[in-house]
C-alpha cells in the first residue's frame, strides 16, 4: 500500500475523501502531502495546509469528522509528538521564566488583529449564546453570568488572572461597582486595557500570577488556565487560595480535555499557544485538593464552536485591511487555528468549563446560576 492509499483508507474511516465533491472532503494540490502527513502527524497536517498543499471548503467540518473517527490515535507516533511529550516531561513549560512567551508570541501579535476579530468588548474567551442573537450579546451574557455566579457587590475587590484587554474588569466595574486588579503577560494587552479602562477603579498589570500577594473578595480567571501547565496546577491553586478571602469565591473558566495529558498538540504549541496544554477534570480536581470545595461545575463547550465561527467570520471580513501586515501564510495559519478548534469542539473532543470554588464551602449551599 502506497502513502496515498494509506491516507485515503484512513480518511474513509472519517467518511472523508480525497478530491471529493462534499464540502468537508480534502482537495490535495501537492502529492507530497501523503508522505508528509504520515511522517509528521498533526503538525504536518497543519503545516501542509499553511503551505497550500491542500484545501477544504468546510475545514471545521473536516476536522470534526477526523476527530470523531479518532484518526489521531492511528497516526499518533511522529517525531513531533514524541519530542513534544519529552519536552513536557523534562522541562516546566509554565515556569516563571517561560510564562511571558505566550504573551510575546500570541497576544502581542497585534491589537489590530484582535480588534477586527473579537466583539466590541474584546472578549477572547467562549461566549454564552443562551438568549443571544449575535457575538456582542453572547459575550455580554458571559460576562454577566460570571458576575452573577460570583455574587459581586458594590465596593468589593476582584482579581482577574489573565485579564486580556480588560473586558471583564471594565464590565464588572461599570455594572457591579467593584474595583479590579487585572494581570496579564502581554504588553500589548496592558497598553490597550489601560486605555479601555481609563477612569475606572481598575489596575492593569504586566505580571505573572505567582507574583500577586493582595487579598480579594473574589477571583476570576477566564481562559488563562490553559497556559499554566500540569506541573504548576497546584501552585496556581495555592496562589489563588492565598489571595482569596475566607468567604470569597473563585471562578475558573477554562477549556478542558477529555483525558489527562502532559503536552499540547504540536501544531498548536508551535504556531498558536506555546507552552500551553488543556487540563482534564481529574487534573483540576487533584489541584484543588486541600484548598477548595467545588461549588458548581458548568459545561457549555458547544458554545465555543459558535464563538470560533463568529471570530473567523469577523477575521475573514477584515482580511483586506489586515493582509498587508500579516501576509497570506498567516491567513491560512489563523484560519486553520480558528476552524480546526471549532471542529474539535463540535466533535466534543474538547470542552469549556466554568467552575466555582470556595475555600470552606458556602454556608447553606451555593445556588447555581445559569
Evaluate whether residue 368 is within a structural domain. no
Largest CA distance in the chain: 69
How much is the pLDDT for 93?
78
Reduce the DSSP state of residue 71 to 3 states and report it: helix
The residue whose grid cell reads 519529552 is 86
363 located within any domain: no
pLDDT band per the 50, 70, 90 thresholds, residue 69: very high
Q: Taking the model in full, what pTM does it have?
A: 0.95
Asked if residue 366 belongs to a domain, the reply is no
CATH code of residue 225: 3.40.50.150
**How confident is the model over 295-317, as a mean pLDDT?**
98
- Select from 30, 46, 77 the last residue of a domain: 77
Burial (0-12, 13-18, 19+ Cβ within 10 Å), 367: exposed
Residues 114 and 255 in one domain: yes
Q: Does 89 have pLDDT greater than 60?
A: no
92-138: pLDDT as tens digits: 778 888 889 999 999 999 999 999 999 999 999 999 999 999 999 99
Q: Is 341 a catalytic residue?
A: yes
- Give CA–CA dist 233/238, Å, rounded: 9
Which pLDDT does position 257 carry in this prediction? 97
304 has pLDDT over 70 = yes
How many structural domains are present in the chain? 2
Mean pLDDT of all residues belonging to the chain: 94
Q: Are residues 171 and 35 in the same domain?
A: no
Q: Which three cell numbers stand for residue 362?
A: 458556602
Residue 139 near residue 161 (C-beta atoms within 8 A): no
164 plus 33 within the same structural domain: no
Interatomic CA distance for residues 16 and 8, integer angstroms: 8
187 and 225 share one domain: yes
For the chain, the first-to-last Cα distance in angstroms comes to 53
Name the residue among 297, 257, 258 with its Cα closest to residue 277.
257
Residue 315 sits in the same domain as residue 170: yes
Query: From CA 265, how far away is CA 362, in angstroms rounded?
Result: 38
Average pLDDT over residues 39-67: 96
Element (H, E) at 312: helix 302-317
| Chain-centroid distance, C-alpha 35 | 31
Q: What is the mean pLDDT of residues 149-154?
A: 98
CA 253 to chain CA mean position, Å: 10
Q: Is residue 90 domain-resident?
A: no
Q: pLDDT tens digits for 242-281?
A: 999 999 999 999 999 999 998 899 999 999 999 999 999 9
* Positive/negative CA dihedral, 15, 343, 345, 98: positive
CB atoms within 10 A of CB 125: 25
The domain in which residue 204 lies consists of: 96-358
* Per-residue confidence (pLDDT) for residue 15, from 0 to 100: 97
Q: Note whether 197 and 169 are within 8 A (CB).
A: yes
274 and 151 within one domain? yes
**Does residue 192 sit in the same domain as residue 290?**
yes
Q: How far apart are CA 370 and CA 367, in angstroms?
A: 10
Does pLDDT of 53 surpass 90? yes
In a domain, 193, yes or no: yes
Is 36 among the domain residues? yes
Are 139 and 248 found together in one domain? Answer: yes
Q: Are 295 and 154 in a shared domain?
A: yes
Cα distance between residue 340 and residue 103, in whole Å? 22
**pLDDT average, residue stretch 177-183:** 98
Residues belonging to the chain: 370
pLDDT at 206 over 60: yes
* CA distances (Å), origin 136, targets 36, 127, 190, 209, 222: 41, 9, 22, 28, 17
**Are 209 and 249 contained in the same domain?**
yes
**Judgement on whether residues 48 and 188 belong to the same structural domain of the protein:** no
Give the pLDDT of residue 81.
Answer: 59
Q: Does one domain contain both 56 and 114?
A: no
Specify if 196 maps to a domain.
Answer: yes
Q: Assess if residue 235 is contained within a domain.
A: yes
Amino acid at each position: 500500500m502506497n502513502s496515498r492509499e494509506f491516507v485515503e483508507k484512513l480518511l474513509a474511516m472519517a467518511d472523508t475523501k480525497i478530491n471529493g465533491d462534499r464540502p468537508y472532503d480534502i482537495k490535495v494540490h501537492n502529492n507530497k502531502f501523503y508522505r508528509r502527513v504520515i511522517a509528521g502527524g498533526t503538525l504536518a497536517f497543519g503545516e501542509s495546509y499553511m503551505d497550500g498543499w491542500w484545501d477544504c471548503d468546510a475545514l471545521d467540518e473536516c476536522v470534526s469528522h477526523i476527530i470523531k473517527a479518532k484518526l489521531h490515535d492511528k497516526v499518533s507516533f511522529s517525531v513531533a509528538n514524541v519530542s513534544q511529550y519529552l519536552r513536557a516531561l523534562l522541562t516546566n513549560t509554565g515556569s516563571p521564566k517561560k510564562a511571558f512567551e505566550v504573551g510575546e508570541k500570541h497576544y502581542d501579535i497585534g491589537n489590530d488583529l484582535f480588534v477586527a476579530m473579537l466583539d466590541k468588548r474584546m472578549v477572547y474567551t467562549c461566549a454564552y449564546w443562551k438568549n443571544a442573537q449575535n457575538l456582542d450579546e453572547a459575550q455580554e451574557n458571559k460576562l454577566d453570568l460570571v458576575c452573577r455566579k460570583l455574587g459581586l457587590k458594590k465596593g468589593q475587590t476582584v482579581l482577574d488572572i489573565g485579564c486580556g484587554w480588560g473586558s471583564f474588569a471594565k464590565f464588572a466595574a461599570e455594572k457591579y461597582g467593584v474595583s479590579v486588579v487585572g494581570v496579564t503577560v502581554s504588553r500589548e494587552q496592558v497598553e490597550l486595557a489601560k486605555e479601555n479602562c481609563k477612569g475606572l477603579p481598575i489596575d492593569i498589570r504586566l505580571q505573572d500570577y505567582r507574583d500577586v500577594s493582595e487579598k480579594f473578595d473574589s477571583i476570576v480567571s477566564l481562559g488563562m488556565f490553559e497556559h499554566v501547565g500540569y506541573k504548576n496546577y497546584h501552585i496556581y491553586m495555592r496562589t489563588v487560595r492565598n489571595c482569596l478571602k475566607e468567604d470569597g469565591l473563585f471562578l475558573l473558566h477554562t477549556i478542558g480535555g477529555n483525558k489527562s495529558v502532559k503536552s499540547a498538540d504540536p501544531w498548536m504549541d508551535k504556531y498558536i499557544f506555546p507552552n500551553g496544554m488543556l487540563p482534564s477534570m481529574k487534573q483540576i480536581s487533584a489541584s484543588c485538593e486541600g484548598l477548595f470545595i467545588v461549588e458548581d461545575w458548568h459545561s457549555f463547550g458547544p458554545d465555543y464552536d459558535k464563538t470560533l465561527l463568529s471570530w473567523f467570520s469577523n477575521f475573514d471580513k477584515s482580511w483586506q485591511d489586515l493582509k498587508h501586515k500579516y501576509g497570506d501564510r498567516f491567513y491560512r495559519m489563523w484560519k486553520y487555528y480558528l476552524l480546526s478548534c471549532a471542529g474539535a469542539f463540535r466533535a466534543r473532543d474538547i470542552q469549556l468549563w466554568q467552575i466555582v470554588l470556595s475555600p470552606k464551602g458556602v454556608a447553606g449551599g451555593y445556588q447555581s446560576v445559569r
